[in-house]
A and B are shown apart, each in its own frame.
Chain A
Amino acid sequence: GAGVSQSPSNKVTEKGKDVELRCDPISGHTALYWYRQSLGQGLEFLIYFQGNSAPDKSGLPSDRFSAERTGGSVSTLTIQRTQQEDSAVYLCASSLSASGAKETQYFGPGTRLLVL
């Protein structure tokens, strides 16, 4: 079946512009996670959704970052007034639920963001 998809695959933007990154999780997966992968910081958690609610936003690095999820499916991560330090690969993962640690997270291919 279809895996997690993300779009765009690459995004180049100018400092100060807003960007939106999209994630389509595996159908039926209620838990959705966003992570960021950068050279200096490795893989970092950003935000977790269960259904449409986000009980854990603890990884968002600043108030320029926000995310929403609609219909228990698609999620959008928005970065406002982008800065050069936002350049990274943004990864989305989904799992059947987060009710047990046995639930495997499946990752999308990522969006590579470059802020000039």
Chain B
Amino acid sequence: GNSVTQMEGPVTLSEEAFLTINCTYTATGYPSLFWYVQYPGEGLQLLLKATKADDKGSNKGFEATYRKETTSFHLEKGSVQVSDSAVYFCALSDRGSNYKLTFGKGTLLTVNP
């Protein structure tokens, strides 16, 4: 079956620091990969996605590249802001599983001023 493993948190950074949250996956088919973000007190929002190997998803300064050879989709941002403090979830979906999302356990990021 499908599974997603992401870096355990919490992660605490100072403003303007570089961020990496690691995510690796196992899938039987050819999945699409996603990063969702949950800001305090809010619902899940799609941050970025990539649907095939070597695609790069990007949004709000965040990037992630779909690496089929390493089955990875690591999230990066060059300079984090206090407003980026949230829980980040890596997820995948594929046709064989009716496109339901399989999530990692989430990584809590806290950015201090």
Residues of A at the B interface (CB closer than 8 Å) are: 31, 33, 35, 42-45, 48, 55-56, 59, 91, 93, 95, 98, 100-110
Contact = CB atoms under 8 A, between A and B. Distances in A.
Contact of B103 (A42, A56, A101, A103): A42
B15 to A, nearest CB: 28
Interface residues of B, number: 25
Given A43-B106, A101-B99, A103-B99, A91 B94 contact: no
The 10 closest A-B pairs by CB, nearest first: A101-B32, A43-B103, A107-B44, A109-B43, A45-B100, A42-B105, A98-B99, A56-B98, A107-B43, A48-B98
B51 A101 contact: yes
A55 B51 contact: no
A55 B100 CA distance: 12
Interface of B: 31-32, 36, 42-46, 49, 51, 89, 91, 93-95, 97-106
A101 B31 contact: yes
Contacts, number: 59
SS class of chain A's interface: helix, strand, loop or mixed?
strand
Contacts of B44: 91, 93, 107
A94 B102 CA distance: 15
A48 B100 contact: yes
Contact of A56 (B42, B51, B100): B100
A45 B101 contact: yes
Contact of A108 (B43, B51, B93): B43
